[in-house]
A = this chain, B = another copy of it.
Amino acid sequence: MYELCEKLFPICRSITGNGVRETFRILQGELPEVPFEMHEVKTGTPVLDWTVPKEWNINDAFIRTPDGEVICEFKKNNLNILHYSIPVDKTVSLEELKEHIVTLPDQPDLIPYASSYYAERWGFCMSHNDFLKLKEGDYHIYIDSSLKDGSLTYGEILLPGERDEEIFFSSYTCHPSMANNECSGPSLIIELARFLNSMENRRFSYRLVLAPETIGALTYISKNLHHLKSHVKAAFNLTCVGDDRAYSLVHSRYANTLADKVLQNVLKFHDPDYRDYDYTKRGSDERQYQAPGVDVPMVAFCRSKYHVFPEYHTSADNLDFISPAGLQGSFDVMKKVINALEYNKNYKVTTLGEPQLGRRGLVPNMSNKTTYQQTLALKDLIAYADGTNDLIDISNIINVPIDQLIPLIDKLISCRLFREAAV
Contact = CB atoms under 8 A, between A and B. Distances in A.
Contact of A353 (B218, B348, B367): B218
Interface string A280-299: 10110001101111100000
A92 interface: no
A381 to B, nearest CB: 11
A292 B398 contact: no
Contacts of A367: 114-117
A314 interface: yes
A288 B353 contact: yes
A380 interface: yes
Interface stretch (A70-78, A320-328, A358-366): A358-366
Interface stretch (A58-66, A235-243, A384-392): A384-392
A117 to B, nearest CB: 8
Given A50-B356, A352-B225, A399-B280, A369 B104 contact: yes
B354 A49 contact: yes
Given A253-B384, A352-B225, A113 B368 contact: yes
A204 interface: no
B114 A356 contact: no
A375 interface: no
B119 A353 contact: no
A195 interface: no
Interface in A158-210: none
A56 to B, nearest CB: 14
A124 B71 CA distance: 88
Interface string A308-330: 00001110000000000000000
A353 B291 contact: yes
A48 interface: yes
Contact of A383 (B82, B292, B313, B354): B292
A348 B292 contact: yes
Copies in the complex: 3
Contact of A118 (B288, B294, B358, B387): B358
Q: How extensive is the interface on chain A, given as a class?
A: 35 or more
A356 B48 CA distance: 9
Interface string A200-226: 000000000000001001100110010
Contacts of A290: 383
A221 B288 CA distance: 51
A380 B280 contact: yes
A102 interface: yes
A121 interface: yes
Contacts of A119: 358, 365-366
Interface string A120-135: 0101000000000000
Contacts of A282: 383
A348 B292 CA distance: 8
Contacts of A155: none
Interface centre among A117, A123, A293, A354 (most CB of B within 10 A): A354
Interface centre among A50, A387, A399 (most CB of B within 10 A): A50
A288 B113 CA distance: 63
B387 A351 contact: no
A287 B123 CA distance: 67
A414 interface: no
B292 A369 contact: no
A102 B372 CA distance: 16
A72 to B, nearest CB: 16
A19 interface: no
B115 A397 contact: no
Nearest to A379: B287
Nearest to A311: B369
A401 interface: no
A355 B49 contact: yes
Contacts of A372: 283, 307
5 contacts: A48-B351, A114-B366, A280-B383, A283-B372, A313-B368
Given A218-B354, A291-B353, 6 more contacts: A82-B366, A117-B367, A225-B352, A253-B386, A294-B353, A313-B368
